[in-house]
Amino acid sequence: MINRRNMIQGMAAGVGAAFCTSLSSKNIRAASVIKKSPKRVIFFLQNQGFDPATCVPQGLKSSESLADVALPEPIKALETYKDKINIITGLHGRHTSPSHSAFFGALGGYRGGIGIPPGGATIDHVISKLLPETILPHLRIGMDALENMKSRPTLATLSAAGPGKPLFMHSNPNDLYQMLFGGIASGDVRKRFEAKSKVFNQIEQLAGQAGSSLPNGDRARYASYVDGFKNINRLRERLAGIADHLRKFAPEYDSKFVKPEFETDWHDSLLDISIAALKAGLTNVLTIGSGRGEIFGSWKGLGVAPAGHNLGHMKQPNNPIWIKIRQYNCQMLVKLMQALESMPEGNGSMMDNTLIVYTSNNADKQHTNGANWPFILLGDCGGRIQTGRYTHLEDKRPINDLYTTLLHAIDAPRDRFNMENSGARMYNSKAGPIEELMA
User: Quick one: pLDDT at residue 408?
Assistant: 96
User: Quick one: pLDDT at residue 394?
Assistant: 85
Residue 233: inside a domain: no
Q: What CATH number corresponds to the domain at position 122?
A: 3.40.720
User: Quick one: pLDDT at residue 416?
Assistant: 96
Domain count, the chain: 1
Residue 5: inside a domain: no
User: Quick one: pLDDT at residue 186?
Assistant: 65
pTM metric for this prediction = 0.88
pLDDT digits (tens, 9 = 90+) for 87-130: 999 999 999 999 899 999 999 999 999 999 999 999 999 999 99
Residue 63: inside a domain: yes
Residue 220: inside a domain: no
Q: What is the CA radius of gyration of the chain?
A: 21
pLDDT digits (tens, 9 = 90+) for 237-256: 888 889 999 999 999 999 99
User: Quick one: pLDDT at residue 215?
Assistant: 61
Sign of CA dihedral 378, 406, 380, 288: positive
Residue 439: inside a domain: no
**Contacts of range 319-327, beta carbons closer than 8 Å, 24 or more positions apart:** 322/51, 322/54, 322/74, 323/54, 323/73, 323/74, 324/299, 325/46, 325/299, 326/46, 326/54, 326/74, 326/75, 327/73, 327/74, 327/75, 327/76, 327/77
Spans in the chain with pLDDT lower than 70 = 1-38, 186, 189-230, 232-233
Residue 185: inside a domain: no
Residue 319: inside a domain: yes
Residue span of the structural domain in which 316 resides: 32-174+256-428
**Who's near 93: CB < 8 A, 6+ residues apart?**
102, 105, 106, 109, 363, 370, 373, 398, 399
**Phi/psi of residue 51, nearest 5 degrees:** -65, 125
Residue 325: inside a domain: yes
CB 274 within 8 A of CB 268: no
